[in-house]
Structure 1
Amino acid sequence: MDTVIIHVDMDAFFASVEVLDNPSLKGKPVIVGGTSNRGVVATCSYEARRFGVRSAMPIFMAKELCPNAVFVKPRFWRYKEISNNIFNIFRDITPYVEPLSIDEAYLDISYINKNPIDIANYIKNKVKKDIGLTLSVGISYNKFLAKLASDWNKPNGLKIITKEMVPKILFPLPINKIYGLGSKSVKKLNNIGIFTVEELYKLPENIFIEYFGKFGHDIYDRIRGIDNRKVITSRERKSIGKETTLRVDTDEIEELKEYIKEFSSDISSILKNKNVSGKTITLKIKTSSFVNHTKSRTLNSYIREENDLYNEAIDILENLQLQEKIRLIGLSISSLKEDTIEQMSFWSK
């Protein structure tokens, strides 16, 4: 049986939901994110993207690029609600659904004896009719190519990549389109004159190993149409965390402690609801010059109580050597395991 994988990707999902709920926004450059200059862009409509606005861009930069944009605060509860309805449509088609995010998934339809394009069109039409949103679909014989195909002609796109098309269809693409190549790797390759997949394809395999280490084999294979990753229907959650961008940069420890206290309470509630505990605590900060720093501590025992989380995080914070003010702070816990007995607090007497 030949493998057939579909990659589905909602078009500008958060912004599209805002337009769906408020039709007066249709056709306007909509930017979803923090509405103050302290925030960042979560996503934006295609009208805003034409001005150069992109996800993760600071709001003040987005305002400079697109001064007429409509800025909307995120409504994550609503996006989750819509996402659940969309994923129910996917799972009505196949049980082999691998969520990648709230608006993106792989579907394995190998066992379905129907034309993959017909299945893709059914998904697109069903989501449009039942939900009112558009999505882009990529079809191929592995994950890498399916995801690449879904991005080919967004928004509302549909693209199939067959074995016969590979590798020539990939040759004109810029190397940043290759899954696994980050910005540093792309820059490194650009520095030696490698800008397209065709140029990368001509390099011997040993160069891939030299440049990318153990991932060199994967990159070498992918641009040749080889990707053996399977669709995984369930994925273990690796961490639980909270973070926020501060209204004003600060180096006041007491103010930062208040945020950590709030995070500790929220994370503890999530851990208890999921009946899990963790033992690696990570404090994340972003400085006023936009440099990220993380400091982690792995404990000897698992915890989930608010006071335990708070005290460990505060100890990490107080040992940081802060050289400048902070614009973002976050707390997370990882190395999770399911609880089989009631956990006791380290700080209980």
Structure 2
Amino acid sequence: MRKIIHIDMDCFYAAIEERENPALMGKPVAVGGESRRGVLTTANYAARKFGCRSAMPVYKALELCPHLILLPVRFELYRADSARIRAIFGRFTELIEPLSLDEAYLDVSHLQTSGAAIAREIRAQIREEVGLAASAGIGPNKLVAKIASDWNKPDGQFEVLPEAVDAFVAALPVGRLWGVGKKSREQLSALGVETCADLRRFDKIELARRFGKWGLELWSLCRGIDDREVSPHRTRKSLGSEQTFSENRVALVELLAPMRELLVGLKEDQIQHHSDRVIKSLVVKLKFADFERTTAERAHSVIDEAVFEELLTEAWSRGNGRAVRLIGVALRFEDPDVPEQMEFFAAP
């Protein structure tokens, strides 16, 4: 039986800022959003008590918590601490699948020690060496371990033994399952499904008829079945950068200069860190003043400013004159694990 641990750092960015400046301890702190028009990257637990959360617009967070302390993002510092934490993981296993700077899956099936004891030791070493708190979930697969890591937050852990998986998952709200978002919850609720136990009333055929291939996944997930391996070489699928404006941009021409600046940074990042990857397509994203988003994408193998300008024009046209509050540019990469398709026709 596999032993999978999901480690999730508690309020990672904000916790690092508190460690660097102990005077912040106990005060509501958020990272990100250099102006009222930006969005929060994370908020500590003191700020969450007021309703502040990641991805919330700064102006909304300040309405909820007027004394919120806003700090700029310091990615170099966060990456350095993430690397230190990753090194601690490496003392226990080579099977580490990072999900982001602040969370990862570990497969420790090869160790004789219990998963709970291993997780406890990892968390103790992180606290001692990095000065940060981590929460952990332990289970026989990735689905259960990730859900369990939320059970005793912050600075806690929870283990679901193999014999307890069935009852543990049955009682879960169906929204806790991987891939079930707001629209999916609404669709399932219309069928009288609120929990995984409710979902188990439907057989594979019925779920496949209603939801296609995803219905077959749901049948397995609501029973706590997840055969996904911990993949140490998780391949990045895209690379991007974006900017939220201090004031809305009301004309297409006003978006050209900031887009070109973003492209400079994007190209540098691609050359320095991802020069071995094959570019599949170019993407431009706009967020309008009413927070509606749109993206324009085109297959292209190199960073081409002219193509990005055409995509910007396309995305802008969908706004029907609406002002723009955010612009983003991105590259999508070819998946190196997918073989190239045979060409049926020779190029002219």
Q: Same fold (TM over 0.5)?
A: yes
Query: How far off is 1:336 after superposition?
Result: 4.2
CA contact (8 A) 2:137 2:149 kept: yes
1:143-182 superposed matches below 5 A: 143-182=142-181
Specify the code of the residue in structure 2 equivalent to 1:253.
Answer: L
Report SS of the residue matched to 2:90: helix
Local SS of the residue matching 1:184:
helix
State the AA in 2 paired with 1:168. A
The CA distance in 1 between the partners of 2:250 and 2:212, in whole Å, is: 39
The aligned counterpart of 1:97 is: 96
CA distance in 2, matches of 1:24, 1:31: 14
- Are 2:263 and 1:264 equivalent residues in the alignment? yes
Query: Does residue 1:249 correspond to 2:248, yes or no?
Result: yes
Aligned residue for 1:319, secondary structure, equals helix
Q: Deviations over 1:150-186 (max 9, x none)?
A: 1111111111111211221223322211111011101
Q: Which runs of 5+ in 1 are unaligned?
A: 339-349
Hey, what's the Cα distance between the residues in 1 that align with 2:104 and 2:151? 16
- C-alpha distance after superposition, 1:67-106 (max 9, x if no partner): 2221111111111111111011001211110000110000
302, 310, 319: which one aligns with 2:314? 319
Question: What residue is the counterpart of 1:334 in the other structure?
Answer: 332
Structure 1 CA distance for aligned equivalents of residues 167 and 17 of structure 2: 39
The one-letter code of the counterpart of 1:215 is: W
- Work out whether 1:293 is the aligned partner of 2:294: yes
Name the structure 2 match of 1:280: 281
Query: What residue in structure 1 maps to residue 345 of structure 2?
Result: none
Equivalent residue letter for 2:261: E
Cα distance in 1 for partners of 2:43, 2:299 equals 38
CA contact (8 A) 2:196 2:223 kept: no
The AA in structure 1 aligned to 2:312 is L
Q: Could you tell me whether the CA contact under 8 Å between 2:174 and 2:222 is conserved in 1? A: no
CA contact 2:28–2:44 (8 Å) conserved in 1: yes
- CA offsets per residue over residues 261-285 of structure 1, 9 Å max, x none? 1121112112222324414111101
TM-score of the pair, normalised by structure 2? 0.91
Distance 1:72 1:45 in 2: 12
**1:70-149 correspondence to structure 2 within 5 Å:** 70-149=69-148
Q: Secondary structure at the match of 1:297?
A: strand
In 1: Cα distance, 2:242 partner to 2:104 partner: 25
Contact 1:143 1:227 in 2 (8 A): yes
- One-letter amino acid of the structure 1 residue matched with residue 120 of structure 2: N
Q: Secondary structure at the match of 2:212?
A: helix
Q: In structure 2, what is the Cα distance between the partners aligned to 1:107 and 1:257?
A: 44
Kept in 1, the 8 Å contact 2:242–2:329? The answer is yes
Tell me if structure 1 keeps the 8 A contact 2:6–2:105.
yes
Name the CA distance, whole Å, in 1 between partners of 2:27 and 2:206: 47
User: How many angstroms apart in 2 are the aligned matches of 1:100 and 1:200?
Assistant: 28
Distance in 2 between residues matched to 1:61 and 1:141, nearest whole Å: 40
- Describe the SS at the equivalent of 2:290: coil
Post-superposition shift, 1:219? 1.5
Question: What amino acid sits opposite 1:14 in the alignment?
Answer: Y
- The answer to whether the Cα contact below 8 Å between 2:237 and 2:335 also exists between their aligned partners in 1 is no
SS, match of residue 206 in structure 1 = helix
CA RMSD for the aligned pairs?
A: 1.6
Distance 2:162 2:189 in 1: 28
Bigger drift between 125-134 and 230-239 goes to 230-239
Is 2:170–2:223's contact at 8 Å kept on the other side of the alignment? Answer: no
Paired letter, 2:107: D
Q: Distance in 2 between matches of 1:113 and 1:332?
A: 44
Please give the per-residue CA displacement for 1:23-45, whole angstroms capped at 9, x wherever unaligned: 01111111112042211111111
Partner of 1:209: 208
Is the CA contact (8 Å cut-off) linking 1:278 and 1:337 kept in structure 2? no
Distance 1:212 1:75 in 2: 42
Counterpart CA distance in 2 for 1:194 and 1:337 is 36
Within-5 A mapping of 1:175-190:
175-190=174-189
Aligned partners of 2:79, 2:20: CA distance in 1, in Å? Answer: 14
Q: Deviations over 1:116-135 (max 9, x none)?
A: 22211110100000001010
Secondary structure in structure 1 of the residue aligned to 2:155: coil
- Pair 59,207 (structure 1): closer, same or farther in 2 beyond 3 Å: farther
Counterparts of 2:71 and 2:270 in 1: how far apart (Å)? 30
Q: CA deviation at 1:245?
A: 0.9
